[in-house]
Structure 1
């Protein structure tokens, strides 16, 4: 199955790219510049494409992203510290982001006679992001079947949608994903901050999966505090 992977350069999408390359035919990685706080993650997507020997397409969505205001990922709003499942992390929602990206990716797939578009949405995202939930991915897939009816047959591939971040680490390790060459932190410093929701979730996932985390964090122990505070809430 010829598959393109939407790849941000993060742990989830790079692991997915390696999984697809091992199990199917990976044809390209597609990344999106929507004016996010930093574009550092796209550099990591480029590294993955080079390592996997596939093209890397970067779609410029900055004009669109500029209108999707109100998110800490696109506006001058501080990224909160704490666990991903905290209510405060809703400030990182970019409205309809996945729906927009997937629509473009399906067009690319159809134009290039690919069979599937893969995205690394997972169960840990469900609380915060509505466009990562199974109800969305199933409906989107049905919508695209109608949109491309008679022209192309492209399927949405979401192997992690019912799984956890730890499951992704386990799956990534099984296909030798170079975890050190992935970027998750929303703050975009020299190292992962260790305090934002995605850093906490990343560090916790490696611990739960029993896989050594090669990531350098500025605050490597904060995740334990964040998880404890969430449990006491």
Structure 2
């Protein structure tokens, strides 16, 4: 191998390292920004400037730009026409209505599977364990809102009875973070609301235990409607 060939390989190698480093930094920026959006640290409508974000994340603007591009593609961020910058995409009433419609469709399908395949016993125990975990989390001082809502979402995901790695499961994973964000926003302004959520979950479990499919469907609809109405009240000032 000649010196020229060696130098060319070295340049290519350094280019690969640089590209990998940029990609890793972009992923890091994406993860941190998404977490800030979902946890409501960055509220809907917050301006996002590359320079400021790069300073906060202690990295160059290139990976931040790539992260913002990805967040835009996924619907978390949009261009602000007023300020000529990016911003956290606002939630609308239509967005919330649509998300709850999708969740209810999945849950009703899940109930059909549970009752048709007589999975009541195993499903009941799994759901009860999640509600018990929510009650424990709620009883702790300084309950972690993110952890609590993650357990809540697991309850709804279990109820949907997806097959592992199915298309429906992958589709749900694309929107469950939206529910995590809405739930955290609602919890921040809902005193005593957690116990109500847990009681409504218990009503769903009781219906499954008693093998009352119609009652279970009504309990799911009631819970979704109450949660949606509370979110509308909680987010009224920003919708």
TM-score range, shorter chain: under 0.3
Structure of higher RCO (CA pairs closer than 8 Å, 6+ residues apart): 1
Q: TM-score, normalised by structure 1?
A: 0.25
Q: In proportion to residue count, which structure has more strand?
A: 1
Max Rg structure = 2
